[in-house]
């Protein structure tokens, strides 16, 4: 009886407590875009623990009434926005401004347009992952030549330097994962140390329009971008095996990616490449094998408001250089030019003998960003690079395995970028850069270093803006300032310093007063101030047409090779001489592009003009006889130049199954100072592609490509005569004449199959140089010694899992 009374009393107390609790509070507010403060209509506001719903009205406002004191768990969601969950202790009426990111697609691995721009008014073309996979066992330069206006300067078949509108090396900015690449790019035979298997997209900007990365993009910018990972729980990866008949080798690449709904991600990638001697249609190219091992690791946190990205890559390349290109004197060069075959032809081998190159490149970075309301996104980045380059000549005795060139380049930088994008029609980017670089010429090589020890400091700042005038018109403008300081240590012979170059009068401040025998020790020191700018206009019409116009001003300081080179560059078999009198280059580039983006019929026409004041070039000058023999001397000199041309791209859907794509590139380079053509300008070329696709039959694709490269008939005459001690007479050395026009046909096919439950298997079969054509390429430094590669059969197998 007593227990019943007690139970009734407890019930009455609970009932009175519930009745007395205040459940008249209101939770209200407004839902807006974090980015530009525009209101979001139809956002869902769900109090999960009370199961109460409402949506934002046309003004972005919402209200939920009759709430009690206590904790509420609120989930706010909107189409194309990331969900936001709030835990709130409600003690009174509450009004909140809720910010959602309405551009969350930035976090997804999605490309809405194939020609999406880094800057809306820049003239740009992209290579996507599926295209890069076709070049998984080749180089960055090989992949880029599929773009109109891009050619390559090569050393044999494996060392490939990209060229944009006739310019290469330090006139091109190569950016890998937001880090500008520094890897001794001054040599003709120095290829970029980048593994394209780690890239998801490569953007090529044909001009000095990306001021964020530097003021010296006289030729253009190549941006290698990694994947953007979706914010979800997932584990996936892929493995790709490529096998080739020519060179009897291939490439294996694998990667694994783990992403989390929380925003964290992890990626590991490794590739291994191995080839033996390559083959022309008629003979093996002795000592042309390659061996590469490349790896990268990446992890970070990815959300709209904040995140970070840590990245490290290691590239280990070993390139054999054609044995027949190793000449001992000018007579060897004359014999090579006059012979149809190399002087050394051996059986196939995987051995990598001298001459050869061995390069290791380390790159690491950590990048963090934070978004601020009513402002934008601030990004901070620290990075480093270590490049170790060794070049081996054919030597005997104790120096047999010692490199003739051994250089270690260390680079580190700090940079910031602030994107101000809260205004609807205006976007501003501004930032700062500080960089330190140190080059060490490692001793013990038995030779004088071609490039001396030096230290270099850089500071830069920039601001760019994009403004939408209306729905179809956008303006962009930017300006950048860079300060650079170079200090080197270098010895000159007294007769060169005083008599040959007259440096004792031109640069007395460089003298240290230290004389070692017949040499004078100097410490050249330079400071440079560089300005660059860009101005662009784009108009996007409703009928798929776009008009882009751009002007770019770029300034490039002379690189250390142009200032300090003084000796035999063994891998090029020539003596290269730089001069302390070199000044900076200034380029003015004008570009126009008329585009139609349409899958049925589209095109792009891009004429351009580039005037370069103080253009630095390396040209044949004379010959000299040393204890090794007689070698050509190449001097750096400075002139005024112009380069102009046009790139044309066309795509046409012939039927539901057949598509045509083609491009044409025309270019002319002039030495205005001497009124002669510029050296090493690519010839006109045209490419045609016919593709058959059948998506219903295992996504079948068959592509036939035809490419013609026309003979370059405009070239400077740098031929010379020299005394041949073997023949005891003067001989004529023709190093300027160019090879004839050639045409190639290539075939590529692929099919995809379901593998396991969720995986896919892609098989690709291709034939390069289908008709086994013999030809020589004007821009191949080894064209004097051998033909280009013959037919190659390639099989690729890719498993996505």
Element holding 285 (H helix, E strand): none
CB-count burial class (<10 Å; 0-12, 13-18, 19+) for 706 = middle
pLDDT for position 85: 83
Q: Which of 126, 29, 43, 124 is nearest to 81 (CA)?
A: 43
- Residue 281 makes CB contacts below 8 A (sequence gap 6+) with 772, 773, 774, 787, 790, 791
Selection from 461, 460, 459, 463 nearest residue 478 by Cα = 463
pLDDT digits (tens, 9 = 90+) for 367-390: 999 999 888 999 999 999 999 999
**Pairing mode, strands 25-33 and 94-100:** parallel
pLDDT at 118: 43
**pLDDT attached to residue 476:** 93
In the structure encoding, which two tokens stand for residue 311, read together? 């990245």
3-state DSSP assignment of residue 280: coil
Reported as a pLDDT band with limits 50, 70 and 90, residue 108 is very low
What pLDDT is recorded for position 283?
96
Of 101-115, 167-181, 192-206, 430-444, minimum mean pLDDT range = 101-115
Give 540: exposed, middle or buried? Use CB within 10 Å, 0-12, 13-18, 19+.
Answer: middle
Least confident of 298-312, 561-575, 762-776, 777-791: 561-575
Least confident of 226-240, 280-294, 317-331: 317-331
Query: Sorting pLDDT into bands at 50, 70 and 90, what band is 630?
Result: low
What is the pLDDT, as a whole number, of residue 36? Answer: 62
Q: Which tens digits make up the pLDDT trace of 725-752?
A: 666 778 888 889 999 999 999 999 999 9
Residue 569: exposed, middle, or buried by beta-carbon count in 10 A (0-12, 13-18, 19+)? Answer: buried
CATH architecture of 2-102: Sandwich (2.60)
Token readout for 72 is 């509420």
Tokens found for residue 647: 């790139």
The confidence score (pLDDT) of residue 566 equals 86
pLDDT, residue 661, reads 96
- The top-scoring range by mean pLDDT among 64-68, 718-722, 747-751 is 747-751
CB atoms within 10 A of CB 60: 20
Cβ–Cβ under 8 Å, residues 451 and 495: no
Residue 109 has pLDDT above 70, yes or no: no
Q: How far is CA 257 from CA 132, 266, 270, 308, 402, in A?
A: 19, 6, 12, 16, 41
Amino acid 77: pLDDT: 86
SS3 sequence, 515-560?
A: EECCEEEECCEEEEEEEEEEEEEEEECCCCEEEEEEEEEEEECCCH
- How many CB atoms sit inside 10 A of residue 374's CB? 10
* Range with lowest mean pLDDT among 330-344, 388-402, 603-617, 710-724: 330-344
What pLDDT, on the 0 to 100 scale, is given for residue 582?
A: 96
Kindly list the distances between the CA atom of residue 87 and the CA atoms of 29, 71, 75, in Å, as whole numbers in the listed order.
15, 7, 9
Predicted pLDDT of residue 23: 85
Residues 6+ apart with CB under 8 A from 647: 148, 149, 206, 604, 605, 606, 608, 663, 664, 665
pLDDT at position 713: 95
Which three-class secondary structure state does DSSP give residue 419? strand
pLDDT at 392 over 60: yes
User: Under DSSP, is residue 247 helix (H, G, I), strand (E, B) or coil?
Assistant: coil
pLDDT exceeds 90 at position 130: no
Q: Does residue 37 have a pLDDT over 90? A: no
- CA dihedral (242, 245, 249, 253) in degrees, to 10, reads -10
210 with 223: CB under 8 angstroms? yes
Q: What is the mean pLDDT of residues 132-150?
A: 90
SS3 734: coil
Architecture per CATH, 222-800: Beta Barrel (2.40)
Q: What is the pLDDT of residue 721?
A: 79
- Yes or no: say if 587 and 643 are a contact pair by the CB < 8 Å rule: no
Cβ atoms of 381 and 364 within 8 Å: the answer is no
For residue 208, what pLDDT band results from cuts at 50, 70 and 90?
Answer: low
The whole-number pLDDT of residue 12 equals 47
Beta strands in 168-263 (DSSP E): 172-176, 179-180, 201-205, 220-225, 234-244, 250-259
Q: What is the pLDDT of residue 127?
A: 87
Mean pLDDT of the chain: 88
Residue 113 scores a pLDDT above 50? no
- Closest Cα partner for 430 from 374, 376, 364, 368? 376
Question: What would the 3-class secondary structure string for 411-441 be?
Answer: EEEEEEEEEECCCCCEEEEEEEEEEEEEEEE
pLDDT given at position 598: 87
Convert 310-326 into a string of H (helix), E (strand) and C (coil): EEEEEEEEEEECCHHHC
- What pLDDT, on a 0 to 100 scale, did the predictor assign at position 601? 93
Q: In the numeric block, which tokens belong to residue 515?
A: 């004389």
Give residue for tokens 């992949």: 143
For the segment 520-549, the average pLDDT, to the nearest whole number, is: 92
Report the pLDDT averaged over residues 516-544: 92
CB atoms within 10 A of CB 56: 23
Q: What confidence tens digit (pLDDT) does each residue in 587-622 have?
A: 999 999 999 988 899 999 999 999 999 999 999 887
Query: What is the length of the chain?
Result: 801
The region of weakest confidence among 128-132, 147-151, 449-453, 544-548 is: 128-132
Token pair listed for 135: 């070049």
> Which stretch of DSSP H or E encloses residue 574?
strand 574-577
pLDDT tens for each residue of 43-59: 899 998 888 889 998 88
What pLDDT sits at residue 19?
Answer: 44
Q: Which residues of 21-37 are buried (b: 16+ CB within 10 A; e: fewer)?
A: eeeebebebbbbbbbee
| Whether 579 contacts 563, CB under 8 Å | yes
State phi, psi for 5 to the nearest 5 degrees.
-65, -40
> Is the model more confident about 116 or about 454?
454
Give which of 200, 235, 379, 229 is closest to 301, Cα–Cα: 229
What is the predicted pLDDT for the residue at 123? 73
Q: What pLDDT score does 16 carry?
A: 45
Residue in the block written with tokens 């080179």:
565
pLDDT in tens, 669-703: 999 999 999 999 999 999 999 999 998 999 999 99
CA distance 322 to 326: 7
Domain boundaries, the chain: 2-102, 222-800
- For the chain, report the end-to-end CA distance as a whole number of angstroms: 71
pLDDT digits (tens, 9 = 90+) for 118-127: 445 567 788 8
Q: What is the mean pLDDT of residues 130-156?
A: 89
What's the mean pLDDT in 619-639? 78
């Amino acid at each position: 009886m007593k227990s019943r009374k007690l139970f009734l009393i407890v019930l009455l107390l609970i009932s009175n407590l519930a009745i007395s609790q205040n459940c008249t509070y209101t939770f209200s507010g407004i839902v807006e875009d974090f980015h530009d403060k525009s209101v979001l209509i139809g956002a869902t506001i769900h109090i999960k623990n009370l199961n109460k719903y409402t949506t934002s009205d046309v003004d972005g406002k919402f209200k939920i009434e009759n709430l009690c004191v206590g904790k509420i768990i609120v989930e706010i969601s909107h189409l194309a926005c990331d969900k936001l969950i709030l835990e709130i202790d409600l003690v009174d009426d509450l009004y909140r401004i809720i910010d959602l990111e309405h551009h969350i697609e930035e976090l997804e691995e999605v490309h809405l347009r194939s020609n999406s721009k880094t800057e809306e008014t820049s003239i740009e073309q992209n290579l996507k992952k599926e295209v890069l996979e076709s070049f998984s066992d080749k180089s960055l330069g090989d992949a880029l030549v599929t773009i109109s206006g891009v050619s390559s300067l090569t050393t044999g078949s494996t060392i490939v330097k990209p060229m944009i509108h006739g310019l290469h090396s330090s006139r091109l900015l190569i950016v890998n994962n937001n880090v500008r690449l520094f890897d001794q790019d001054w040599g003709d035979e120095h290829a970029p140390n980048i593994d394209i298997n780690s890239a998801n997209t490569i953007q090529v900007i044909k001009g000095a329009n990306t001021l964020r990365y530097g003021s010296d993009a006289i030729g253009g910018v190549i941006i290698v971008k990694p994947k953007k990972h979706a914010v979800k729980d997932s584990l996936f990866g892929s493995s790709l095996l490529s096998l080739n008949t020519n060179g009897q080798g291939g490439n294996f690449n694998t990667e694994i990616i783990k992403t989390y709904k929380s925003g964290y991600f992890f990626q590991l990638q490794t590739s291994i490449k191995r080839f033996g001697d390559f083959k022309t249609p008629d003979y093996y190219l002795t000592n042309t094998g390659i061996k590469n091992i490349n790896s990268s690791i990446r992890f970070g946190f990815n959300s709209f408001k904040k995140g970070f990205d840590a990245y490290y890559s290691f590239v280990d390349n070993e390139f054999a250089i054609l044995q027949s290109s190793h000449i001992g004197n000018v007579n060897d060069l004359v014999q090579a030019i006059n012979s149809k075959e190399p002087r050394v032809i051996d059986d196939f081998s995987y051995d990598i003998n001298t001459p050869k190159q061995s390069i290791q490149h380390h790159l690491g970075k950590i990048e963090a960003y934070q978004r601020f309301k009513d402002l934008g996104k601030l990004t901070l980045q620290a990075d480093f690079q270590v490049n170790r380059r060794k070049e081996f000549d054919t030597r005997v005795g104790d120096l047999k395995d010692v490199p003739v060139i051994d250089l270690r380049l260390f680079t580190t930088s700090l940079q910031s970028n602030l994107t101000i994008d809260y205004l609807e029609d205006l976007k501003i980017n501004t930032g700062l850069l500080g960089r330190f670089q140190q080059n060490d010429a490692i001793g013990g090589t038995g030779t004088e270093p071609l490039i001396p020890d030096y230290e270099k400091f850089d500071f830069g700042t920039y601001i760019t803006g994009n403004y939408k005038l209306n729905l179809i018109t956008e303006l962009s403008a930017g300006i950048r300032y860079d300060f650079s300081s170079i200090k080197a240590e270098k010895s000159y012979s007294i007769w060169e310093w005083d008599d040959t170059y007259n440096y004792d009068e031109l640069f007395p401040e460089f003298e240290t007063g230290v004389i070692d025998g017949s040499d004078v020790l100097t410490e050249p020191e330079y400071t440079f101030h560089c300005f660059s700018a860009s101005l662009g206009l784009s108009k996007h019409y409703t009928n798929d047409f776009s008009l882009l116009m751009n002007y770019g001003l770029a300034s490039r300081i002379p690189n250390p090779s142009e200032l300090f080179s003084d000796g035999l560059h063994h891998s090029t078999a020539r003596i290269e001489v730089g001069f302390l009198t070199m000044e900076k280059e200034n380029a003015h580039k004008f570009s126009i592009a008329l585009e139609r983006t349409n899958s049925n019929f589209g095109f792009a026409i891009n004429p351009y003009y580039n005037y370069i004041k103080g253009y630095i070039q390396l040209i044949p000058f004379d010959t000299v006889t040393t204890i090794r023999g007689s070698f050509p001397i190449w001097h750096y000199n400075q002139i005024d130049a112009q380069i102009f041309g046009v790139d044309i791209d066309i795509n046409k859907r012939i039927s539901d199954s057949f598509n045509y794509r083609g491009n044409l590139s025309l270019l002319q380079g002039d030495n205005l100072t001497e009124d002669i053509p510029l050296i090493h300008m690519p010839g006109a070329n045209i490419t045609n592609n016919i593709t058959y696709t059948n998506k219903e039959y295992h996504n079948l694709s068959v592509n036939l490509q035809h490419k013609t490269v026309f003979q370059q008939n405009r070239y400077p005459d740098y031929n010379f005569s020299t005394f041949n001690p073997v023949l005891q007479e003067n001989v004529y050395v023709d190093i300027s004449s160019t090879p004839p026009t050639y045409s190639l046909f290539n075939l590529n096919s692929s099919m995809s199959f379901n593998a396991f439950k969720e995986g896919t298997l892609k098989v690709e079969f291709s034939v390069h140089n289908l008709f086994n054509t013999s030809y020589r390429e004007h821009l191949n430094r080894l064209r004097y010694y051998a033909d280009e590669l013959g037919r190659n059969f390639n099989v690729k197998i890719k498993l996505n899992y």
